[in-house]
Amino acid sequence: MSENTKNDDLWKDKLDPEVYKITREKGTEIPFSGKYYNHKEAGKYMCSNCGKELFSSNNKFDSGSGWPSFDAPTDEASVELRQDDTFGMKRTEVLCNECGAHLGHVFDDGPKETTGKRFCVNSLSLDFKKENKQNN
């Protein structure tokens, strides 16, 4: 994690309370409630806390889980993976490697024809930057 990691009071001042709950307190959105779970536009998904590019629409797929799902991050170095044993489950937590924001979890039940991974991400942990299509 970079030195951009802020203390808790600064995040509370900067973030919407719902975004804070998900990204700083490791919350989870209700399935099928997030703005990006069924989002189909081409572009990049950025960390809602610090703006770091995390995922591309090219790696997004419909997992049926109710959360935005990706088979890989844009760059492996943009995310940090940590073991998460909360609630008696063994999972792998996904965090923004720039600011430490909780994004969601990664599972091994993604598309077999690509990575086999499913990065299951909360919409509130993401912002979207639409791809600019220019004619050359």
120 is catalytic: yes
Query: Which pair of tokens denotes residue 54?
Result: 């995390």
State the burial class of residue 115 (Cβ atoms within 10 Å of its Cβ: 0-12, 13-18, 19+). Answer: middle
Catalytic one of 47, 50, 99, 120: 120
31, 60, 23, 129 alpha-carbon torsion, rounded to 10°: -120
By 3-state DSSP, what share of the chain in percent is helix, strand and coil, each rounded to 5?
Answer: 20, 30, 50
Residues identified as active-site: 120
